[in-house]
Amino acid sequence: MTTDVLARQTLVLNRHWQPIHVTSVVRALTMLWNEAAQVVEPDEYRLYGWHEWSELTPPLDAPCIRTAHRRLRVPEVVCLTHYDRVPSKAVAFSRRNVAKRDHHTCQYCGVQPGWDRITIDHIIPRSRGGTSSWLNCVAACPECNAIKADRTPEQAGMHLRRRPTRPDWKPFHAIHDGAIASWSRFVNDAPSLALA
């Protein structure tokens, strides 16, 4: 149970309450302990430092870390005390994010081979000068990737189901499948979150 709780994530706001990224519960608690952040109680928007937070008696149904003497409520949202980092506007290019943009779906045959099997295809192969970029990379199942091999789609007689784009999603919705309901009070109209 404690392991599940520690696998949860915490939304991080900067001093101006703009969401900047999502971090692990462990990291959030470390920031709280170090006074680098305060917990934002999402119902009342009250701020708590470590001492106040650790003295609270959490509701019975709240996710908690249990210690010998008390239950420590897992923070859902924290607010940085010093740092004024601004929200990132760009979504980082990575294999993981290409797969997410394409909904883990092979862009040639439409199968969903699973998170661990999905591959990234360079539409114009790297050997022909194709770049690793949003517009030249798509998710592909291993079978289609092997068939296409070192060819362009035209040469391989394969068709893309849609033209790849640079994502303009709100990663809060797209990335964090385990997003917590209370975060929506802080991320409305927010610029894209960093994928940290």
**Would you count residue 187 as binding Zn ion (CB under 5 A)?**
no
Least Å distance, CB 108 to Zn ion, is: 5
Least Å distance, CB 158 to Zn ion, is: 9
User: In what side-by-side order are the strands of the sheet with 77-80?
Assistant: 19-24, 9-13, 77-80, 37-41, 46-48
Q: Which of residues 143-172 bind Zn ion (CB under 5 A)?
A: 144
Choice between 141 and 193, CB closer to Zn ion? 141
- DSSP for 110-134 reads -----TTT-EEEESS-GGGT--SST
State whether the Cα torsion 161-130-170-168 is positive or negative.
negative
Query: What CA–CA distance (Å, rounded) separates 152 from 124?
Result: 5
Choice between 26 and 156, CB closer to Zn ion? 156
Q: Which of residues 75-94 bind Zn ion (CB under 5 A)?
A: none
Q: Which stretch binds Zn ion (CB under 5 A): 10-18, 43-51, 122-130, 137-145?
A: 137-145
**Helices (runs of H) and strands (runs of E) counted in the chain:** 8, 9
**Would you count residue 26 as binding Zn ion (CB under 5 A)?**
no
Q: Environment class of residue 108 by beta-carbon count within 10 Å: exposed (0-12), middle (13-18) or buried (19+)?
A: buried
Task: Name, in order, each residue with C-beta under 8 angstroms of 93's C-beta and a sequence gap of 6 or more.
Answer: 132, 133, 134, 137
Least Å distance, CB 166 to Zn ion, is: 23
**Would you count residue 109 as binding Zn ion (CB under 5 A)?**
yes
Member of 48, 108, 172, 186 binding Zn ion (CB under 5 A): 108
Q: Which stretch binds Zn ion (CB under 5 A): 17-25, 109-117, 120-128, 164-172?
A: 109-117
Choice between 137 and 141, CB closer to Zn ion? 141
Query: What CA–CA distance (Å, rounded) separates 85 from 117?
Result: 36
Member of 13, 91, 141, 187 binding Zn ion (CB under 5 A): 141
Choice between 71 and 104, CB closer to Zn ion? 104
Residues lying near Zn ion in the complex (CB under 5 A) are found at 106, 108-109, 141, 144
